[in-house]
Amino acid sequence: MIFHPAIIALCVASLFICLMIAYSAYYGIKIVKGWDIKSGSEQQLVLERRTYLISAILTYVFGFYLISLFLYVFTVDRLHIVFTGAMCAAGVLKVNSYGYPTLLLKIMIFIFAGLWLIVNYADNRAYDYPIIKTKYLLLLILTPLVITEMILQAGYFLQMHPNIITSCCGSLFSEGKSSLTSELASLPVVPMEVAFYLSMLLTVYLGISFHRKGEKGYLFSVTVAIAFLISLVSIISFISVYYYELPTHHCPFCILQKEYGYIGYFLYVALLGGAVSGMGVGVLMPFRNIESLTGIIPSTQRKLALIAVVFFLIFTALVTYRIVFSNLVLVS
Amino acid sequence: MERWIERQKNILDFTLSSLFRRKWKNAALALVYVFLVFLLASVIFFTHALKQEAGIILQNAPEMIVQRSIAGRQAPIPLSYIDKLKDITGVSAVKKRLWGYYYDPTAGANYTVMAPEDVQLDPRSIIIGEGVSRTRQVFKGSTMRFRAYDGKIIAFEVKSIMPSESELVSSDLVLMSEDGFRRLFDASGEYATDLTLQVKNPRELSVIASKVVHALPDTRPILRDELLRTYESVFDWRSGMALFLVSGAILAFLILAWDKASGMSHEEKREIGILKGIGWETSEVVLMKFWEGMVVSLSAFLAGIILAYIHVFFTSAAFFEPALKGWAVLYPRFKLTPFIDASQVATLLFLTVVPYTLATVIPSWRAATVDPDSVMRM
Amino acid sequence: MITLANVRKIFNQARPNEYTAVDGVSLQLEEHDVTVFKGPSGSGKTTLLSLVGCMARPTSGRIHLLGREITSLPERFLTEIRRKTFGFIFQQFHLIKGISVLDNVMLPAYPCGERLSVLKERALHLLDLFNVSQKAHTRVEWLSGGEAQRVAIARALINGPSIIIADEPTAHLDSMHSHELVEILRGLKNDRKTILIASHDPIIYDSDIVDKVVHLRDGKVDEGDTGPRTRGHLQLLKGR
Ligand SMILES: Nc1ncnc2c1ncn2[C@@H]1O[C@H](COP(=O)(O)OP(=O)(O)OP(=O)(O)O)[C@@H](O)[C@H]1O
Ligand SMILES: [Mg+2]
């Protein structure tokens, strides 16, 4: 165990969030069981009022996970001094088998909480709260994720033994060895770039056409999800390389460092924002024909599509700018 | 969008005016809040700055030090080892170092005595650190007497006081020539305290270290990175411990915050009742309460951080002097280099604002859900 | 038109202190009319007004407001309807102390997200209408009873409601100010607002602006006394 202030902060805050989410889930179950919008009973009113609390808590959870995600990476990055062989977060996350799963869960929870808030937003605008039960059932999926994340994170920090010799981004994301990460790194640059720009183009095209006509929502959402994954792979495969101007350095974390003007934060926030709002369109699709939501969901979806397009455009613009003005030439 | 912003603005506006009206009621909580942030921020800034200082020192430290150990204790290393080390491939330079500690009974302090190779000094003069100068009241040109290993008193002339980038380490230093050093400690000419190694390729450090142990089994190589690591974990551990100790204070603060948020005054309850009655929605009152919490939190947070910054970087953490450093008498009176980064702020946020916000969310929601018709029966 | 069909409000349902405050009320209230609810203390006037005014939901029964069924709406939407449709004048004025008259008047409109400058203009206009504009920047604590009442009315009108609900508006006013209030209500009536008042003050229910008096007793409508203004009959009940 390493007794770093940021580690204590992360663990303590996670514990609090866990308590809150468990509390929400408990009342979520009560709402699912006892909800009857037609009833004028006091019981129904009590349940209705609970929903305000749960919305507020989930909003906090969403905001919390965004900061937590970055603080986690930042803290882990800081710890590289303590581990032989590690030079940035990539290596430190590997010191035991909890590091990467925790990171992944944090991202998943952030996206999930964002999608939940989108559904919540739409539902709260319909006078009969038509998807309230679905909504609170979804909350029951989020709860175990949050609890698992807290346990994994605690496990990760508790199982850290400072004398572990680890590998780092140099070897983890290098092209020589055969592991998943190194294979991502050694993906051929040109096809990757083509795939990246194609996915962005498709996303933006579908997004704008959805914004205009409100058609092909599912397709747009799936494209966003794929574009999100392709972008993550692209960061490892070639985007990071342009930032480092080192053909062999593929680390997705070093771009978060000061040396690169914290550009990583902008890239990831744009990407995460785009993913949440874009996938939000798809998540709302099954509900758009519910009578009380017909006037609400389409306009919400259009807004979301536009936001997603803007985020992805920002991401693409940042990347393209760097590729054009980088001193490194990967593709001649 | 514009409506949304106006709405936030209007509600924030009203929140501020309500807070202002009740400023004395909130003062106690705010004060505790500021103090807590101040305490935590001081600990974090201070240990971080110390780490930073240690890093600066170690930057100039040799990549590898070779010490000899006999029966598990450090022993003088024969100079003949130098050539043996030079023969190892990858080693570019080997230097000897002479250093030790001198206990000065008049000051009741330990000095670190060194005979650096790269500083030219004649056998009768010394350079001393600020701490030594201060405790012994010796300055440039004065004479300083030392008691040698054989009881003789040796006088040195102070040639200069050390200008220090980081006083943390140089404060207790006494630099002298090799000759002077040997006269003081009877280190015969065949031994050094330890040896330093330079290597051609830093990546090969660990390989070379194992070769050193192989060639000279009674030696022990120490890598700079290892030192850095030790420093890092020692400081992390200290600040972690300190945080652990104040966790009681955090908990007490949260209970206070919870209590304060649940036990609203009659006047406040009346106000929320009126707001609900005249058409404010529950979520709007929740929003108002959110802004209220944010305003209190962020101003307390900012104040606490600024105070901690002044405390650590301008007064050299005066409150912590006795507690956190083990340098006792020669405690360096230095200014730490100001250094804050986003992760420190985020850490503090997670330790104070996040728990505060979560502790108050349920009480404020409860306050926001009064029956709108209660206003008609007040 | 406001229609109530068999509306019932039970407090503390299924508990030992269960109490039926409104018990099966069916009513039709015309738009642009002034209706007065009258009855002994505890007869359910305030409760009934709060049900019509979207402040609370009936335990059972249906309320139609301007053609819309509001009984099964969640609180969030009730509030939305309430602040667009209703203006409330409370017995105790219920102004918020410590802030100015102007701020008090604008308060109901804050969450609607209107620009503050537009809002301010409207509030000042209303204060002007009720002759309290010179007090706009004083704190409400310093107002006289009559002034406070007029400020409360200005606040009720800030969102441009079509229905005014007043619960015992004259309870804290002397007869001169009560008559003044009746004149204000007359003005509102002329502006074609629907006005619902709960009162047992003869200055109100005997006034010529009243179109209909509903007599309540034990949460029920006292059929014999309901109908077009039955002034003479009401005099008899005044003693209760
Ligand atoms: N929240 C509540 N819980 C329990 N009982 C209540 C509640 N609100 C009102 N009541 C009861 O309902 C009954 C009707 O109250 P209401 O205020 O409607 O009477 P009212 O006709 O306005 O009387 P008054 O003329 O005194 O104002 C009263 O007996 C009251 O005690
Ligand atoms: Mg009443």
Q: Which atom of ligand 1 is nearest to the CA of C19?
A: 5
User: In this predicted structure, what is the pLDDT of residue A102?
Assistant: 93
Looking at the partner chain, which of B275, B280, B376 has a beta carbon nearest the beta carbon of C50? Answer: B376
Which residues keep their CB under 5 angstroms from ion ligand 2? C 46
* Contact between chains at C116 and B13 (C-beta distance less than 8 A): yes
Please tell me the predicted confidence (pLDDT) of residue B185: 85
* Tally of domains in chain A: 2
Same domain membership, residue A262 and residue A179: yes
Q: Are residues A36 and A76 in the same domain?
A: yes
Ligand 1: residues whose CB is within 6 Å?
A: C 11-12, 19, 21, 39, 41-47
Chain centroid to CA C89: 5
For ligand 1, atom 12, name the residue with the nearest CA: C21
Which long-range contacts does A82-86 make (Cβ < 8 Å, 24+ apart)? A82/A2, A82/A162, A82/B229, A82/B232, A82/B233, A83/A162, A83/A164, A83/A165, A83/A166, A84/A163, A84/A164, A84/A165, A84/A166, A84/B206, A84/B225, A84/B229, A85/A165, A85/A166, A85/A167, A85/A168, A86/A166, A86/A167, A86/A168
Interface touch B358/A3, C-beta < 8 Å: no
Identify whether residues A192 and A291 lie together within a single domain. yes
Among A31, A41, A51, A132, the residue to mutate for chain C (most C Cβ within 10 A): A41
Q: What is the pLDDT, as a whole number, of residue A182?
A: 66
Higher pLDDT, B260 or A165: B260
Retrieve residue C111's tokens.
């969450």
Cβ–Cβ contact B372 with C under 8 A: yes
| H or E element in which residue C40 lies | none
Q: Identify any residues that bridge with C109 across adjacent strands, giving them in sequence order.
A: none
B111-143: buried (b, 16+ CB within 10 Å) or exposed (e) per residue?
bbbbbbeeeebeebbbbbbbbbbbbbebeeeee
Q: Which chains touch B (3 or more CB pairs under 8 A)?
A: A, C
Residues A163 and A205 in one domain: no
pTM, rounded to two decimals: 0.83
Euclidean distance between CA atoms B233 and A3, whole angstroms: 8
| pLDDT for res B167 | 52
Hey, what are C27's tokens? 């009513």
A114 & A162 share domain: yes
Quick one: A112 and A217 in the same domain? no
pLDDT(A128) > 80: yes
**Residue C230 pLDDT > 60, yes or no?**
no
Asked whether residue A304 falls in the same domain as residue A179, the answer is: yes
User: Which is more confident, C203 or B165?
Assistant: C203
**Alpha carbon of C141 to those of B18, B25, B163, C93: distances in Å?**
16, 20, 67, 12
| A147 and A190, same domain (yes or no) | no
> Where do the H-state alpha helices sit in C133-238?
145-157, 175-190, 202-205, 231-237
Compare CB distances from C76 to A41, A42, A124 and report the shortest one's residue: A124
Domain limits for position A41: 1-167
Residue in A2, A60, A82 closest to B357 by CB: A60
Residues A160 and A96 occupy one common structural domain: yes
A131 and A213 co-located in one domain: no
Using alpha carbons, list the distances in angstroms from residue A252 to A227, A232, A264, A314, B341: 17, 8, 8, 18, 21
Measure in Å the smallest separation between the Cα of B363 and chain C Cα atoms: 20
3-state class of B22 per DSSP? coil
For residue B350, the chain A residue with the least C-alpha distance is A9
A5–chain B nearest CA distance, Å: 5
- Is residue A150 domain-shared with residue A216, that is, in the same domain? no
Between residues A312 and B120, which one has the greater pLDDT? A312
Q: Nearest CA of chain C to the CA of B31: how many Å? A: 24
User: Is pLDDT above 90 for C35?
Assistant: yes
Q: Which of A167, A193, A227 is the last residue of a domain?
A: A167
How many CB atoms are closer than 10 A to CB B31?
Answer: 12
Question: Mean per-residue pLDDT for A263-268?
Answer: 90
Rg over CA atoms, chain B: 31
Q: How far apart, in whole angstroms, are the C-alpha atoms of residue C79 and residue B280?
A: 7
Judged against a pLDDT cut of 80, whether residue A322 lies above it is answered with yes
Q: Write down which chains contact chain A via at least 3 CB pairs under 8 A.
A: B, C
Bridge partners of B197, per DSSP, are B64, B94
In chain B, the N- to C-terminal Cα span, in Å, equals 37
The domains found in chain C, sorted by start residue, are 30-58+74-229 (3.40.50.300)
For residue C13, the CA-to-ligand 1 centroid distance in Å is 15
**Which of C41, C47, C170 maximizes ligand 1 atoms within 8 Å of its Cβ, making it the mutation to test the pocket?**
C47
- Shortest distance between the Cα of C64 and any Cα of chain A, in A, equals 15
Give me ligand 2 centre to Cα C131, in Å: 28
Strand C34-38, strand C19-29: pairing: unpaired
List domains and CATH numbers for chain B: 2-58+232-376 (no CATH), 99-186 (2.40.40.20)
> Based on the number of CB atoms within 10 Å of its own CB, is C232 exposed (0-12), middle (13-18) or buried (19 or more)?
exposed
Which of the listed residues A108, A135, A167 is the one where a domain comes to its end?
A167
Which residue, C151, C175, C53, is CA-closest to C93?
C151
Is B280 close to C112, i.e. CB distance below 8 A? no
- Res C239: pLDDT: 39
Same domain membership, residue A11 and residue A83: yes
pLDDT, tens digit, 9 for 90 and up, residues A211-223 = 888 888 899 999 9
Q: Which two tokens stand for residue A219?
A: 């397709």
For position A111, what pLDDT does the model report? 94
pLDDT tens digits in sequence order for chain B, 378 residues long: 778 888 888 999 899 988 888 888 888 889 999 999 998 998 888 888 877 777 777 777 778 888 888 887 888 888 888 888 888 888 888 888 888 888 888 877 788 888 887 777 888 888 888 878 888 888 888 888 888 888 888 889 988 887 665 555 567 788 888 888 888 887 677 888 888 888 877 767 777 888 888 888 888 888 877 777 777 777 777 777 777 778 888 888 888 888 888 888 888 889 999 999 998 999 999 999 999 999 999 999 999 999 999 988 888 777 776 655 544 444 445 567 777 777 888 889 888 999 999 888 999 999 999 988 888 887
* C42 CA to centre of ligand 1 in angstroms: 5
- Residue B376, strand partner residues: none
